[in-house]
C-alpha cells in the first residue's frame, strides 16, 4: 500500500512567498518545474524551510542527470508517461536514488497512468536518506477526470480507498498493470477518421 502526497503550491511566482508564510506551518513541499520555466530553483532563497519538488517536464535520463547534479530539487517528480515508459523511468529512479533524492512520482492523466504508477510504487524501495526512510507516496490529482474515474471496468476509487483505509491504497492485482479498460467507455469517446 502507498499513501498520498500532501497538498502543494504550484505557481512559482507565489512559491517563495508561500514558503516563507508556510514554513511555520505543515507545508511539506513546494512544486514547480524548473526545467519548463527555466527558473533555476537552485537560486531559490536558501532560508526556505520547505522542500522544492518538480521535474515532471524533464523527458529523459540525461536531463534528469543534469537536474540532479545541480541540486535544484529536494524531491524528484518523474512522470513515467512523459519519460517514454517504464524502462526510462527505472533509469531515472536509479539516478535519483544515487543522488539521495527522494522520489514522489508525478501522477496525472488516465486510470492507466495511475495504475502504472501504483505498480511502480509497489516495487520502489523506501525513500532514501536518514534513519527513518519513508514509504513511497502517491501524488493524486483530485480534479474531475472521466478518463481516470470511468475508464476501467473496475475503477480504482483512490479517494474512496484513502478515506476508508486512513491514507493507504491497494495495488491492482490483475495481470499486467492490474487493470482492464472499459471498451464501451473507450468506444464512446472514439473519433471516426
* CA pair distance 175, 82, nearest whole angstrom: 23
Residue indicated by cell numbers 527558473: 39
* CA pair distance 158, 148, nearest whole angstrom: 10
For residue 99, indicate whether it is catalytic: no
* CA pair distance 137, 4, nearest whole angstrom: 5
Neighbouring C-beta atoms of residue 3, cutoff 10 Å:
17
What is the CA angle 181-187-191, rounded to 5?
Answer: 125
Among the listed residues 31, 97, 99, 106, the single catalytic one is 106
- Show contacts of 53-56: CB within 8 Å, 24+ apart: 53/8, 53/29, 53/77, 53/104, 55/106, 56/82, 56/106, 56/108
* CA pair distance 72, 41, nearest whole angstrom: 5
**E strand or H helix at 53:** strand 51-54
Strands 137-138 and 3-4 turn out to be parallel
Active centre residues (catalytic): 106
Amino acid at each position: 500500500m502507498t499513501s498520498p502526497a500532501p497538498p502543494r503550491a504550484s505557481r512559482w511566482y507565489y512559491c517563495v512567498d508561500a514558503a516563507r508564510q508556510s514554513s511555520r506551518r505543515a507545508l511539506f513541499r513546494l512544486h514547480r518545474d524548473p526545467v519548463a520555466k527555466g527558473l533555476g530553483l537552485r537560486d531559490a532563497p536558501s532560508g526556505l524551510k520547505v522542500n522544492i519538488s518538480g521535474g515532471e517536464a524533464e523527458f529523459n535520463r540525461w536531463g534528469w542527470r543534469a537536474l540532479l547534479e545541480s541540486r535544484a530539487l529536494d524531491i524528484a517528480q518523474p512522470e513515467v508517461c512523459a519519460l517514454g515508459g517504464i524502462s526510462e523511468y527505472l533509469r531515472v529512479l536509479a539516478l535519483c536514488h544515487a543522488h539521495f533524492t527522494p522520489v514522489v512520482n508525478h501522477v496525472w492523466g488516465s486510470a492507466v497512468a495511475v495504475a502504472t504508477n501504483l505498480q511502480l510504487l509497489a516495487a520502489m524501495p523506501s525513500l532514501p536518506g536518514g534513519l527513518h526512510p519513508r514509504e513511497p507516496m502517491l501524488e493524486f490529482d483530485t480534479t474531475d477526470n472521466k478518463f481516470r474515474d470511468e475508464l476501467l471496468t473496475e475503477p480504482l476509487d483512490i479517494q474512496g480507498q484513502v478515506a476508508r483505509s486512513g491514507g493507504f491504497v491497494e495495488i491492482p492485482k490483475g495481470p499486467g498493470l492490474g487493470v482492464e479498460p472499459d471498451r464501451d467507455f473507450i468506444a464512446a469517446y472514439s473519433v471516426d477518421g
